[in-house]
Amino acid sequence: MKLLPLFTGLSCATVAAGGQVPLSLFSNDQAVTRIPSSYESAVMGRRILALSKLGDLATVFPHSHSHSYEHEHEYEHVHAEDGADVSAHHLPAHHRPTGLGGVPISLVDYVADCEDEGNPTLLAIKIATAFRNADAGSNITLSMRWAPPYPPAKRISFLSRITAHIPFLGGASHYHEYNQAPDATPDPVPYSAANLPRFALMGYLERIHPNPVQSARLAACFTAKHRDAKWWLPGNVIHESEWARLVVTQVFWVGGFGDRAFIGWIPVDEWKSVTKEEWSSIKLPGEEKDWSEWSVNPVDEL
């Protein structure tokens, strides 16, 4: 399935509902005058997967202790490469409290895109909670979001959207202006996160059993994103680990605000059929400097 030429090279953009004036969510030379399709959203999602380093892995604790939780003390004494003892208090505690059966837990983890079908590559460290739960039978969900590398040149002026319709309250909002005070704490999210795409990949964990050539390729791909992960590659002397993929069975997508972005389930065959050529041909909002969160007149935004 081919993308429409108009979509190529654009950031996510849509149109206002109800036949209003077409809106562009971000500043571009061109504007898409409709809500992106599920396939176009899949292309954006595959680019996010390719460019992002982190995701949140959600699993569920087993109702009873499985083999993955039987040996709570098996990592109490391991030895570093130089022979130094790494005592138990340097390692995470895995004495699981009672009553956690069926309780979900979500933790950030390293992610890489080392295969061609949209199944994220994971370095499964067996001591980690997510992989212990997966070994105990839990399904797994990976949640990801697009975090622009550059802040927008202009923020969404929410107050001006409201006051533009009230004459005595009219005037420009200063929401888009950054606090320049010397002692100001930098804004850790200098953009509207609700305005940007995010998604959840649901599926199950599948171990990868690579031959030596495939193992070297996976290691090169993964450490290109995560240089420190070289210490935890399969065969290391610190933690038992192995390569795994999240086999995607469902994709839920939130492209941004619902009047201008696709929100809903992306068919998994669409997700997996996106090619590298397709996701390489587009730009996500904030990949380049001087972008605008909302590039229309405040009166037209409502």
In a domain, 197, yes or no: yes
In a domain, 248, yes or no: yes
- 208 vs 3: CA distance, rounded Å: 32
Residue 135, domain extent:
35-61+99-148+192-280
Question: Considering the chain, what is the average pLDDT of its residues?
Answer: 77
In a domain, 167, yes or no: no
In a domain, 271, yes or no: yes
Of 16-30, 103-117, 199-213, the least confident: 16-30
**Number of compact structural domains in the chain:** 1
In a domain, 236, yes or no: yes
In a domain, 114, yes or no: yes
Of 7-11, 103-107, 143-147, 288-292, the least confident: 7-11
Note the pLDDT tens digit of each residue in 44-95: 999 999 999 999 999 999 987 666 665 554 433 344 444 444 443 444 445 7
In a domain, 160, yes or no: no
pTM of structure: 0.75
CB 99 within 8 A of CB 62: no
CB 114 within 8 A of CB 224: no
Note the pLDDT tens digit of each residue in 140-161: 999 999 999 988 887 776 555 5
CATH number at residue 53: 2.30.110.10
Average pLDDT estimate for 176-199? 76
Q: Give the distance between the most distant pair of CA atoms in the chain.
A: 75
Average pLDDT estimate for 165-187? 58
In a domain, 234, yes or no: yes
Q: What percent of the chain has pLDDT over 90?
A: 51
- 89 vs 66: CA distance, rounded Å: 24
